[in-house]
């Protein structure tokens, strides 16, 4: 501790990179091999993480549902336990199923498995549940509601036209004096998980066009946005609904109870743009129980 108050001594005592790497590996090995309780209900969060060369790592992270802070806060890193890390050259349902089955030795069969909906993961979880019918398969709420936005918006001709006009306008503005007016670019992957900035930009432009003396440059390049003002309001409301869904499910979990939260979220209304759409992830604990007994609160 004395070294902390003396910059010279602190610099001399900083471990080399090899030492740091060695300790990180030791800590990781300890996490992968330490005993985990079989006496609690577990939820597993399953996803492919970083790619190392040609291999991807299938991460299985566990949450003790009996200790989860439902109704208090979202999950934090301290709530998570590393169950397994499985390197895979190629991933398919058989390999995912085998990895899940191997992880049973660490925690026992889980009450719930959460994934992002990737085909190999979903099919692997389905195969695993055939042997463990008391395990729920639940979609990750963030990906689930993003897929709902994609389903509704890509079927909306106005959305397709709006995105196309924004893309064309951006192409004419790049490397010009008006380049500062270029709209945020929609990501190619996970587009509907990061669409908020794009919609916000459209609403900002529409508001500037309604000003008493709008900026001539904005009028020149984005005057056409005025025709989408009503649609932008609808898209904003729908995205706000998605964000409310995320906030509620991340704190409350999935169960029949969160439906009550819509009455206090400020978004419940008879408008079709803010009515919780069917299958939005609210109440999925009730609809996913299958043969697992009465509804229980699970992670989303």
Residues 130 and 150 in one domain: no
The residue with tokens 């669409």 is 195
Q: Quote the pLDDT of residue 300.
A: 62
Torsions phi, psi for 270 (to 5 deg): -70, -5
The structural domain count of the chain equals 2
Provide the strand spans (E) within the chain: 42-52, 55-64, 80-88, 112-115, 136-139
Domain end among 114, 139, 164: 139
Residues 183 and 105 in one domain: no
5 part of a folded domain: no
How far is Cα 182 from Cα 200, in angstroms, rounded to an integer? Answer: 13
Residues 132 and 176 in one domain: no
Residues 99 and 214 in one domain: no
Q: pLDDT of the chain along its 300 residues, tens only?
A: 455 556 555 556 788 899 999 999 999 899 888 999 999 999 999 999 888 888 899 999 999 998 988 889 999 999 999 999 999 998 999 999 999 999 999 999 999 999 998 899 999 999 999 999 999 998 888 998 999 999 999 999 999 999 999 999 999 999 889 899 999 998 887 788 889 999 999 999 999 999 999 999 999 999 999 999 999 999 999 999 999 989 998 888 876 554 555 455 544 444 445 554 444 443 333 334 344 444 456 666
Q: Quote the pLDDT of residue 50.
A: 80
How far is Cα 4 from Cα 22, in angstroms, rounded to an integer? Answer: 23
pTM passes above 0.85: no
Q: Quote the pLDDT of residue 22.
A: 93
Q: Quote the pLDDT of residue 15.
A: 86
Instruction: Classify residue 27 by burial, with Cβ atoms within 10 Å: 0-12, 13-18, 19+.
Output: exposed
The residue with tokens 């919609």 is 199
10 part of a folded domain: no
98-102 CB contacts, 8 Å cutoff, 24+ apart: 99/58, 99/60, 99/124, 100/44, 100/46, 100/60, 100/124, 100/125, 100/128, 101/128, 101/131
6 part of a folded domain: no
Residues 158 and 274 in one domain: yes
Q: Quote the pLDDT of residue 5.
A: 58
Instruction: Classify residue 233 by burial, with Cβ atoms within 10 Å: 0-12, 13-18, 19+.
Output: middle
Residues 132 and 149 in one domain: no
Q: What range defines the domain where residue 195 resides?
A: 145-287
294 part of a folded domain: no
Q: Quote the pLDDT of residue 219.
A: 94
Tokens of 189: 């992957």
Tokens of 246: 């995320």
Domain end among 139, 167, 201: 139
215 part of a folded domain: yes
Domain end among 86, 116, 139: 139
Residues 155 and 95 in one domain: no
Return the CATH number at 94: 3.30.420.10
């Amino acid at each position: 501790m004395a070294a902390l108050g003396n910059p010279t001594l602190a610099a001399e005592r900083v471990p080399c990179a090899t030492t740091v790497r060695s300790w990180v590996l030791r800590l990781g090995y300890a996490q992968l091999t330490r005993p985990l309780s079989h006496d609690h209900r577990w939820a597993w969060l399953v996803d492919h993480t970083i790619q190392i060369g040609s291999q991807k790592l299938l991460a299985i992270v566990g949450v003790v549902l009996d200790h989860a802070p439902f109704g208090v806060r979202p999950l934090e890193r301290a709530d998570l336990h590393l169950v397994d890390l499985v390197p895979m050259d190629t991933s398919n349902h058989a390999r995912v199923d085998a990895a899940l089955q191997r992880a049973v030795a660490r925690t026992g069969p889980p009450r719930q498995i959460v994934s992002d909906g990737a085909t190999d993961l979903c099919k692997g979880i389905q195969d695993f549940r055939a042997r463990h019918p008391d395990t729920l398969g639940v979609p990750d709420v963030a990906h689930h509601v993003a897929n709902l936005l994609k389903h509704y918006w890509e079927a909306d001709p106005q959305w397709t036209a709006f995105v196309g006009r924004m893309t064309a306008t951006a192409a004419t503005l790049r490397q010009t004096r008006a380049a500062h007016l270029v709209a945020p670019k929609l990501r190619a992957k996970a587009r509907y998980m990061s669409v908020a900035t794009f919609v916000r930009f459209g609403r900002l432009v529409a508001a500037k066009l309604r000003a008493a003396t709008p900026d001539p440059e904005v009028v020149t390049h984005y005057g056409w946005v005025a025709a989408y003002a009503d649609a932008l309001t609808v898209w904003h409301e729908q995205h706000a609904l998605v964000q409310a869904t995320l906030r509620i499910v991340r704190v409350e979990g999935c169960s029949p109870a969160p439906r009550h939260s819509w009455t206090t979220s400020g978004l419940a209304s008879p408008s079709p743009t803010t009515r919780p759409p069917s299958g939005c992830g609210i109440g999925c604990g009730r609809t996913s129980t299958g043969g697992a007994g009465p509804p229980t609160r699970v992670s989303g």
